[in-house]
Every structure is written in C-alpha cells, then in structure tokens.
C-alpha cells in the first residue's frame, strides 16, 4: 500500500479541552454564587487544618463544602466530615487533581448550593500548578518550616496563585524563616499576590483569611452580574 504524508496543524495546549470545561464550570459556579477555591501546598503544609479552622470559624454563617484529593486514603475527608459536606477524590496514585475527578466529586456531593467550594489538592508544589480545576481563586500554602526561599523554587505554582497563606506561624520563633523574605521572593514572581499569615491551631490570622474569601466572593458575584448585563445589552 502506498502512502503519502499529510501534516495536520493543531497548535493548541494539550489541556485545551479540559481548560475549556473548567472555564464553563467557573462561569456556572459564579452565576450560582459559589466561590471555588483551589488549595495547594507541599504535603503537610496544613491545608486540611486550614479548612477545618475555616469551617469552625464560620460555623453555620457560611455554607461551605470541600472536595479533597488524596492518593489513596480518606483520612482528610474523615477529618473534615464533622464540619461540612465533604467528598474524597481518590487519584489512585496520581500526584494532582484534574477536572474529570472534580466533576465526579461534585456529582457525589449532590447539592450544589454552597457559598464556598474548596478543593484541597494533592500535596505537591509542582504538577497541580498546571491544572485548572474551575477555581476562581488559587491559594498556595507555605508553612514556615519549609523555608522562606521556596517561592522562587516553584515559580509556576506561585505565578499562577492569587493568594499565599503562610501557615504554622506559631512555629516562627523556632525556625529561621523571614516572613519579609518569603513575601519578597513570592512577589518577585507574582506581584499581585495577597499574603496572609495564619495559625490554624490558635486561629490567629483566620479573621483576615475569611474576610479575604468573603471579598473575593463579592467581587465574583459583582463581576458575574455585570457580565450578564453586558450579554443582555
């Protein structure tokens, strides 16, 4: 059989289709008034602790739910279950979450009537940075025990985040970590980064963090309304 060669041009990101899905979901969530927050960090930086503390802080004043990614166990989901609706996303060994798994989790969650939907990503500062999970806000946690030089070492993660939570601030007296140096390093990469020091154990800084989330949600709703008006006109 004789064959000829044919070049098929594509020129698009390998994740273009998933990104498109994420974009559509983001708009749907915005219209519904649900702020989606993608929470990322290295393993053990305190993501689950922050979400537990957030749920405790709000009590029943806000409706929040959590989708939590884990390689194999449901430990984080069990920790969060007493506080709010939560679904486990088991990645089966994969080091990051992708949109199809998020969709499965949402289906299992049943209700979609939330003010805030948190997605706790798998602990990893590299791969999750590349995957859009339909979030409105991407938050990266850096615990003080990890060192203040980390932002520059993980540029994609910090570049694609809107907020940085410096966690475990109660340990500051015990470790050589300069808050200023960490902030400087992070803003070198992402000048608009909002930085919030938090201790999830004592609740210090939680007020500011929760206010930030409320503000982001208000902005999202306002923006979604003007977008609709624009479409209507």
Partner 1 sequence: MHEFSLVRSLLRQVGDLLVEHGGVGVKAIRVEMGPLSGVERQLVELAFDQEVVMTPCRGARLVIEEVSLTAICQDCRAEFQMQGFDFVCHSCESRQIQITGGDEFRLLDVDIAVSEASRSELHQRV
Ligand X SMILES: Nc1nc2c(ncn2[C@@H]2O[C@H](COP(=O)(O)OP(=O)(O)OP(=O)(O)O)[C@@H](O)[C@H]2O)c(=O)[nH]1
Ranges within 46-105 binding Mg ion (CB under 5 A): 47-48, 76
47 within 8 A of 98, measured Cβ to Cβ? no
Find the binder of partner 1 among 95, 179, 183, 201 (CB under 8 A): 95
93 within 8 A of 71, measured Cβ to Cβ? yes
Find the binder of partner 1 among 40, 117, 129, 182 (CB under 8 A): 129
123 binds ligand X (CB under 6 A): yes
Find the binder of ligand X among 38, 54, 190, 200 (CB under 6 A): 200
* Both structure tokens of 123: 């602990």
Neighbour-count burial of 14, counting CB atoms closer than 10 A to its CB (0-12 exposed, 13-18 middle, 19+ buried): exposed
The Cα–Cα gap between 155 and 189 comes to: 7
Find the binder of ligand X among 22, 34, 37, 48 (CB under 6 A): 48
Beta bridge partners, 141, equal 165
Residue count, binding to ligand X (CB under 6 A): 17
The stretch near partner 1 (CB under 8 A) out of 12-20, 34-42, 50-58, 199-207 is 12-20
The stretch near ligand X (CB under 6 A) out of 8-16, 28-36, 99-107, 196-204 is 196-204
The Cα–Cα gap between 52 and 57 comes to: 9
Question: Residue 141's closest CA among 127, 156, 120?
Answer: 120
**Cβ nearer to Mg ion, comparing 48 with 143:** 48
Q: 3-state class of 95 per DSSP?
A: coil
Find the binder of ligand X among 30, 35, 37, 45 (CB under 6 A): 45
* Binding-site ranges for ligand X (CB under 6 A): 41, 43-49, 76, 123, 167-168, 170-171, 199-201
């Amino acid at each position: 059989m004789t064959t000829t060669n044919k070049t098929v041009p594509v020129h698009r990101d390998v994740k273009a289709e998933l990104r498109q899905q994420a974009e559509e979901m983001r708009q749907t969530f915005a219209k519904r008034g649900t702020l989606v927050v993608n929470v990322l960090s290295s393993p053990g930086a305190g993501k689950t602790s922050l979400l537990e503390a957030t749920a405790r802080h709000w009590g029943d004043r806000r409706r929040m739910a959590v989708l939590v990614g884990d390689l194999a166990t449901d430990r984080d989901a069990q920790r969060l279950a007493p506080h709010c609706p939560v679904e486990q996303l088991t990645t089966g060994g994969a080091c990051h979450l992708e949109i199809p798994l998020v969709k499965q989790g949402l289906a299992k969650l049943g209700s979609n009537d939330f003010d805030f939907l948190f997605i706790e990503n798998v602990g990893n500062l590299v791969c999750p940075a590349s995957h859009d999970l339909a979030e409105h806000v991407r938050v990266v946690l850096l615990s003080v025990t990890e060192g203040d030089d980390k932002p520059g070492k993980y540029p994609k993660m910090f570049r694609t985040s809107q907020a940085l939570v410096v966690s475990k601030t109660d340990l500051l007296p015990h470790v050589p970590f300069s808050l200023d140096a960490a902030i400087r390093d992070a803003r070198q990469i992402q000048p608009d980064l909002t930085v919030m020091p938090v201790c999830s154990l004592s609740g210090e800084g939680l007020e500011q963090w929760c206010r930030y989330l409320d503000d982001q949600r208000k902005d999202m709703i306002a923006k979604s309304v003007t977008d609709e008006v624009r479409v209507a006109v």
